[in-house]
Structure 1
Amino acid sequence: MITVDFGIVPIGTEETDLGDYVSVAVQAIKDSGLSYELTGMGTQIEAENLDELYEAVQAAQEAVFKVGANRVFAVLKIDDRRDKDTRGLKDKVDTVNAMIK
């Protein structure tokens, strides 16, 4: 299972409000069919392989360009763990929460 923390920032926009840009990027992730969770600082994604992950990220970037961004800065933090079959985002949170006293 591959887990990803994904952030996308359009550059050169006229306003500081980026909701219109972020929403089309998240819609592209949603349309990919991948499991994702939107947070206040980015989007977390689960993928089975890098090809489907990169395809979804490419679709998100292209969506932001289509709504008027001239430049897009994206950050990916990828955890590609292959020693366990099902180690998704929820599993990671549950593990840490179980350790907190």
Structure 2
Amino acid sequence: MAAILNFAIFPMDKGSNLGDYVSKVIQHIRESGLDYQLTPMGTIIEAPTVGEALKVVEEAYEILEPISDRIYCVMNMDVKKDKSGLIKGKIASIEERIGEVNK
């Protein structure tokens, strides 16, 4: 089983330069040991279970909660019981059809 989860989370009360806050969340994701991919609009993580994926989102909230009175989070998820390696697999599937996509 694999759960691939795309999410964005950030404080809404810290102005328009949020890199200092978002980088704390990305550092935590990196330290989790899960496969992840940072994108301009969010971060994709892959976990063995839905619970582990949602735990990362909860922990991201816990990082931001002490420093913000308002936190925005959006996420979507794809769970496959018979697969793993979804982040790389989904990209490879498209690249087989049209060539390299992330130049």
Query: TM-score, normalised on structure 1?
Result: 0.87
1:25 aligns with 2:25: yes
In structure 2, list runs of 5 or more residues that go unmatched.
none
Identity across the alignment (%): 34
- Residue 21 of structure 1 deviates from its aligned partner by 1.0
Is the 8 Å Cα contact of residues 29 and 57 (structure 1) preserved in structure 2?
no
**1:55-74 deviation per Cα after TM superposition (whole angstroms, max 9, x unaligned):** 111111111123x2111111
1:17-96 counterparts in 2 under 5 A?
17-66=17-66, 68-82=67-81, 84-96=82-94
Residues 10-21 of structure 1 aligned to structure 2 (within 5 Å): 10-13=11-14, 15-21=15-21
CA–CA distance in structure 1, aligned partners of residues 74 and 41 of structure 2 = 12
- Distance in 1 of aligned mates of 2:88 and 2:31: 21
- Is there any run of 5+ residues in structure 1 with no aligned partner, and where? none
Q: CA deviation at 1:87?
A: 4.1
Q: CA deviation at 1:81?
A: 1.3
What TM-score results when the alignment is normalised by the length of structure 2?
Answer: 0.85
Q: How many residues align?
A: 98
Alpha-carbon RMSD across the aligned residues, in angstroms, is 1.5
Task: Summarize the Cα distance change of 1:4–1:55 in structure 2 as closer, same or farther, 3 Å threshold.
Answer: same
Moved over 3 A (4+): none
**Would you say the 8 A contact 2:4–2:53 is kept in 1?**
no
